[in-house]
Structure 1
Amino acid sequence: GIPFWLMHRGGDFLDGRIDEVPACDPDGRISAVLLPHVLGAVLQMAVAIDEPQHTNTDTHTHMDHQQTTAGCPDPERVRVHGTTYKIVLGEPDNTMSERLMSVGSLMQSVGLPVELTTRLRVSVWKKVLANVTMNPITSLTQRTIPDLCAENETRTIIQDIMHEVACVCNKNGTDLGRDPVGDTMKLLANCYPNHKPSMRQDLDTGKRLEVDPIVTAVVQIAQCLQVPTPKLNFLHALISSRDRAIALQHSPICTNTNRQPSPAPTISEGEGGGDSPAAGLCRGQSESGKTAASTSSGEADNGKEELEMDIANVTSSVSSIDLGTSHHVYPDYFS
């Protein structure tokens, strides 16, 4: 996703505008504490953590370590998929500092594939081109990266969104080269045959999605630079809605398994209007049943109100998207 330091010390249009990209650093607390001490890094690798008792049959590389830090996964469960494996390090102010060279030398001494650069923002944005498209689209479609790149319809959508993001980079003064979209598509189609992006991994395990750093931040940067991104906005609305659905599943209304069920309604003899048991069922509920039902109904009403508010927010977000003219030619179904 977009790191908080991208809005600091870069000497570009985003420099010092972290307050306009709150998805990266709400309230600016991270920048206030960490900025003087941070080195930027871009991991050019596809990593997954195997579930326990699961054997991954894909081609992969083990990341072997002698020790593990408390709370980290077992190294034997960490897999690096694909053919790209590199860590790019750089300073937020684009200098080749002494500390950068020192950290790079240390990492290289233990066998890590490290590259030092004074143009780390280029590496960040090239990775963003892939992440801002493949993370949400694989999550929404449940398809693999090669499948999405191979099909004309999905490939066109992916490329269109990448072109929008490339325009954001150009507006900010970040040069991604002659054909960043074509280069990224080739990399995705050839290097990650069976890898699931992190957002898809979280979706499969029922976790909340990393929408803010991966997608929302890019949308906010585009708005900050006044670059229209209608297709990206549309994708953002969809994946945000999917994430809110996951949040709703984790809400107390949906997860409270300790609530006692309401007593079954009783049918009193003589009630129900003659021989109609259905009518008796409607009128013969006990007072305790009514009380329990009333409590349950109140909780359900609260959940319903929250859901209705959420749906209204999503509807408002989608309806505000302008899918009109843009810098690129788009399929008819987006017009």
Structure 2
Amino acid sequence: MGDPIKICIFGAGAIGGFMGARLAADPEATGAEVSLVARGPHLAAIREKGLTLIEQERELNVRVRATDDPAELGPQDYVVLTLKAHSAPAVVDAMQPLLGPDTAVVTGVNGVPWWYFHRFGGPLEGTRLQSVDPGGRQWEGIGPERAIGCVVYPAAEIAAPGVVRHVEGWRFTLGEPSGERSERALRLSRALTAAGFKAPVRPRIRDEIWVKLWGNLSFNPISALTLATLDAICADPGTRAVARSMMLEAQRIAEKLGVKFPIDVDRRIEGAAAVGAHRTSMLQDLEAGRPMEIDALVTAVQELGRLVDEPTPTIDVVHALICLRARVAGLR
């Protein structure tokens, strides 16, 4: 079978733990040698008792190498970043021991990725986004040539330290910034597929990023401002109209950047309504006293709007409100 694929999951919380547990559960099938970078009580529990994954039908416990010091692990084939977007720039220095000459960095992070304009072509080629990569920390310290895009669809939660509960979803969509079906993307796809995930390699990963971002941009801040669940936001005529206006502004920006949306805005809203009484991640972060992903989900869309000369009046209003909400809560 050849040498194992070395995969380090950096930020092995709920989503990272879900991916890591399944990859590590059957190394013969996946061909993966998995390690986790975690912290605090979660790390201590994984070291002591292994990582436990609770799914609808079963409970799985795996022994997996876990540390808070990446220098213990050495260079990897893949580093999968599953942190909140605002936490990523701060770990660039700590990641360095994991980065060999051919290491790929998989950005399983919500929102607009820092590498967005790498291999983009045209006058915006190589543009760096200050909202998601202040000072170019990731661009310089990781290098855009390492980046593989990843759109994360599963939902999971940490039920207790060392215990991850899978809520729904199995798909991690992968894609090279260039659009090519590279061997490194396909190899990772095969490992994830062997672990039981859906992991297609898409030629237009930015299209997929925008379809997910479309909802996160609007529903996340509205939910944190109103404390309402998705179904309530979509059912209320006022908040539904605000979300729709934000989404249409974003669509105009994305289409100027060459994105093709596979569905229209009203179908996307209906899809969100169908999720039901779900508290968005931004609302959960606010309630837990954690920093919210405002910059990757909202500020970045404003920045892209300025780059393509597309106004964002509704987004601007909601952005101002959610930034103040975060400051008042001591989270920004």
TM over 0.5: yes
Q: Which of 162, 166, 169 pairs up with 1:79?
A: 166
Tell me the residue number matched to 2:152.
43
Aligned partner of 2:127 among 17, 21, 30: 17
Which one-letter code corresponds to 1:46 in the other structure?
Answer: A
Structure 1 stretches of 5 or more lacking a match? 53-72, 251-335
Q: Counterpart amino acid of 2:231?
A: P
Question: Does structure 1 residue 27 correspond to structure 2 residue 135?
Answer: yes
SS at 1:113's partner residue?
Answer: coil
TM-score normalised by L of structure 2: 0.63
- 1:145-173 Cα deviation digits (max 9, x unpaired): 01111111111111111000000011111
Higher share of residues assigned helix: 1
Partner of 2:171, secondary structure, is strand
Q: Would you say 1:216 and 2:304 are equivalent positions?
A: no
Aligned partners of 2:221 and 2:282 also within 8 Å: yes
Q: Is the 8 A contact 1:208 1:246 kept in 2?
A: no
Structure 2: gaps spanning 5 or more residues:
1-110
In the alignment, the residues of structure 1 paired with residue 241 and residue 286 of structure 2 have an alpha-carbon distance, to the nearest angstrom, of: 24
CA distance in 2, matches of 1:145, 1:212: 21
**Residues 149 and 218 from structure 1, CA distance in 2 versus in 1: closer, same or farther, beyond 3 angstroms?**
same
- On the 8 A contact 2:229/2:280 being kept in 1, the answer is no
> Which whole-Å CA distance do the structure 1 matches of 2:306 and 2:321 have between them?
18
Identical pairs, percent: 32
Q: Deviations over 1:250-293 (max 9, x none)?
A: 9xxxxxxxxxxxxxxxxxxxxxxxxxxxxxxxxxxxxxxxxxxx
Tell me the residue number matched to 2:270: 186
Matches of 1:41 and 1:118, distance apart in 2: 12
Aligned residue pair count: 221
Other structure's SS at 1:47 match:
strand
Shift of 1:40: 0.7
Q: 1:136 aligns with which of 216, 221, 225?
A: 221
1:40 alignment partner AA: G
SS of equivalent residue, structure 1 residue 89:
strand
Taking structure 1 as the reference length, the TM-score comes to: 0.62
| In the alignment, structure 1 residue 2 sits paired with structure 2 residue 112 | yes
* Residue of 174, 179, 182 corresponding to 1:97: 182
User: Equivalent residue of 1:41, what SS?
Assistant: strand
| Match in the other structure for 1:239 | 322
Q: CA RMSD in A?
A: 1.8
Query: Which residue type is aligned with residue 220 of structure 2?
Result: N
Q: Offset at 1:6?
A: 0.9
Runs ≥4 residues deviating over 6 A? none
The letter for the 1-side match of 2:150 is: A
Give distance in 2, aligned partners of 1:27 and 1:217: 14
Residue of structure 1 in register with 2:65 after alignment: none
Answer whether contact 1:135 1:198 (CA < 8 A) is retained: yes
Q: 1:14/1:85 Cα in 2 relative to 1: closer, same or farther (>3 Å)?
A: farther
Q: Check whether the contact 2:228–2:279 (CA below 8 A) recurs between aligned residues.
A: no
Partner AA of 1:32 in structure 2 = E
Q: Is the 8 A contact 1:13 1:172 kept in 2?
A: no
